[in-house]
Amino acid sequence: MIAHRIVELALENQCDVIVFEHLNTKGKKHGSKKQKLAMWNHRTVQNTVKSLAHQYGLRISHICAWGTSRLAYDGSGKADRGRYVSENTPYDICWFSTGKFYNCDLNASYNIGARYFLRAMLKVLPDTTAEDLGIGSGTRRTLSDLWKLNAVPSNS
């Protein structure tokens, strides 16, 4: 089962947290069976992972996924994908304004992981806002914002 493999992979890599996209399941997708395909067992998989993770002492975190595949992880702005690049470009390929072609799912995973770390790091910074550090708001954050935060010298 997928959920068991996710937890196995987390344990093999000595992870403390498993990060999921927060999937919005409100509303209805139009068209025959689109709703069923789009939300195929997502709740069952996440609940099983949550239960297994608890047994092994792992935490679960959910991150807002808005814009994670639309924004280029390198901070270059909006990424075009599929037919917006050219008629022959597959939908899972995105093009950054810098000229790079990248896999949209991998781009999104970088941004989801970065949002998790940014949220955790910004909570512990005293009297500092994201704007002071040149980091965008929650749904505009990308991996490049994490790089910016790492480049800020610490006061220790």
pLDDT digits (tens, 9 = 90+) for 25-76: 666 656 656 555 556 666 788 889 999 999 999 999 999 888 888 999 999 9
The rounded distance, in Å, linking the Cα atoms of 78 and 76 is 7
Place of tokens 């937890």: 7
Cα separation values, 64 from 5, 48, 115, 119, Å: 23, 20, 8, 11
Closest CA to 142 of 120, 103, 114: 114
Structure tokens at 5: 């493999």
Q: pTM value? A: 0.79
The confidence score (pLDDT) of residue 122 equals: 85
